[in-house]
Amino acid sequence: MLTYPFDDKLRSAIDAMGNEAAENIWFEGRAGADLTWSWILDVEAGKKNWRLAKLTELGFAEKKVRKQMSALKTESVKNLVELARQDRFDDPLRSSPALIVLSLCHNQKAFEIGKKLVRSKLAAERIIGIKTLAREHSEEFLPKSAPILLKCLENESDDHVLEVLAFATMHLNIEGRWKFLKPHADNPSEAVRLAIASSLGGEEDRDSISTLIKLTRDPCDDIRNWATFSLGILCKQNTERVRAALFARVNDEHDELRHEAILGLAVRKDHRVWDIITDELLSGPRIWGRTLEAVVELADVSFYPMLQDLKVRWQTKDPEDIILNNLDSALEACRP
């Protein structure tokens, strides 16, 4: 059986570092690459990073790690897919070492294999196919992959595959995905509804907005949170129904969600948010970063004395403290 060119101990050590690492695993700039294994590319290029330093501390020889990572990049497309078949995809955003290397394969063979796998009867193989098509694209392959992924979304019934598809179409920013995502807004699977709430962020068409508004009322906290963020921060529409949906969440029991709604209203200069922000500032010494972002958006001098008092009461003077930096920005924005 084909195996990875590194042992289980090395992989376990790398996976453990990935679990410690990040909240949003799409922001590495490579399709399908999470913060765990995308560093393969940096290691192969001879760059230093904290993971390589950590592995050295754990007793792994740097030269050997570099050699093993380089060996993976020499595998054929067929072998990379076979290796991916051995991996698990419990998290739809996580990839595998093989698929991350495959993400750089800008060739017809990788495209053809992905196209074949998305038609498989096995859900696990369809996921590999989707992740292969949703790789880092050249202008040549994105127009070919987009309609295939939308067709998959139209016909798919497996919840886990739907979840992967929703994130893939978001990552590639495929136009018209809302038409295929909207019917799943009532899906019994919370994971699918969460993926839809994430995928529709930034979409401005009426149906996407309506779906997000619906999901801001979802019984699941995480889904309401993502839908509120997508609607209030990522979308730019400033209509009465958008403001009403955001205002309906300002008393939500989920703190992060509530502050996403407050910021969304501040961005839209909704007059109802002034008193809410005033109460937030006076209730210190703890304060949410989103509240201070909302203050910056409004830049109202009436907030300045409250911000001064809040800074006096702030418990840390660490210049690396994000909240302290936000507080300084708010003071500057509201300075008389």
Q: What is the CATH number of the domain that holds 203?
A: 1.25.10.10
Q: Please indicate, yes or no, whether residues 206 and 77 belong to a single structural domain of this protein.
A: no
Task: Check residue 272 and give its pLDDT.
Answer: 96
- Is 70 exceeded by the pLDDT of residue 288? yes
Task: Report the chain's terminal Cα–Cα distance, integer Å.
Answer: 71
Task: Check residue 320 and give its pLDDT.
Answer: 61
CB 201 within 8 A of CB 235: yes
Q: Please indicate, yes or no, whether residues 27 and 49 belong to a single structural domain of this protein.
A: yes
Task: Check residue 267 and give its pLDDT.
Answer: 97
Mean per-residue pLDDT over the chain, rounded: 83
Q: Please indicate, yes or no, whether residues 27 and 139 belong to a single structural domain of this protein.
A: yes
Q: What is the pLDDT of residues 3-17, one digit of tens each?
A: 888 778 887 777 776
Q: Please indicate, yes or no, whether residues 122 and 243 belong to a single structural domain of this protein.
A: no
Structure tokens at 287: 């304060």
Q: Please indicate, yes or no, whether residues 279 and 232 belong to a single structural domain of this protein.
A: no
Q: Please indicate, yes or no, whether residues 189 and 131 belong to a single structural domain of this protein.
A: no
Task: Check residue 36 and give its pLDDT.
Answer: 46
Say which DSSP state 184 is in: G
Q: Please indicate, yes or no, whether residues 155 and 197 belong to a single structural domain of this protein.
A: no
Mean pLDDT across 62-70? 79
Chain-centroid distance of CA 246 in Å reads 21
Q: Please indicate, yes or no, whether residues 43 and 112 belong to a single structural domain of this protein.
A: yes
- Domain boundary among the residues 147, 172, 197 is at 172
Side-chain-side CA neighbours of 93 within 13 Å: the count stands at 21
Give me the long-range contacts of 326-332 (CB less than 8 A, separation at least 24). 326/289, 326/292, 326/293, 326/296, 327/287, 327/292, 329/292, 329/296, 330/292, 330/295, 330/296, 330/303, 331/304, 331/307
89 band by pLDDT with thresholds 50, 70 and 90: low
Q: What is the pLDDT of residues 20-36, one digit of tens each?
A: 332 222 223 233 333 34
How open is the CA angle 162-191-241, to the nearest 5 degrees? Answer: 95
Name which of 172-176, 189-193, 269-273, 319-323 the model is least confident about. Answer: 319-323
Most confidently modeled of 50-64, 96-110, 184-198, 320-334? 184-198
- Is 70 exceeded by the pLDDT of residue 41? no
- The contacts of residue 130 (CB under 8 Å, 6+ apart) are 114, 118, 149, 152, 161, 164, 165, 168
Q: What is the pLDDT of residues 186-234, one digit of tens each?
A: 999 999 999 999 999 988 999 999 999 999 999 999 999 999 999 999 9
Domain that holds residue 140: 1-172
Q: How many domains does the chain have?
A: 3
- Per the listing, tokens 């690459």 go with 33
Q: Please indicate, yes or no, whether residues 5 and 110 belong to a single structural domain of this protein.
A: yes
Q: Please indicate, yes or no, whether residues 83 and 166 belong to a single structural domain of this protein.
A: yes
Structure tokens at 144: 């070919």
- Domain boundary among the residues 267, 291, 314 is at 267
Say which DSSP state 147 is in: H
Most confidently modeled of 90-99, 139-148, 203-212? 203-212
Mean pLDDT across 303-310? 93
Structure tokens at 95: 């990839």
137 band by pLDDT with thresholds 50, 70 and 90: low
What is the distance between the alpha carbons of residues 196 and 304, in angstroms, rounded to a whole number?
Answer: 39
Q: Please indicate, yes or no, whether residues 112 and 98 belong to a single structural domain of this protein.
A: yes
Q: C-alpha distances in angstroms, 28 versus 33, 40, 100, 336?
A: 7, 12, 11, 40
Q: Please indicate, yes or no, whether residues 252 and 276 belong to a single structural domain of this protein.
A: no
- Is 60 exceeded by the pLDDT of residue 50? yes
- Domain boundary among the residues 232, 252, 267 is at 267
pTM: 0.81
Chain-centroid distance of CA 285 in Å reads 30
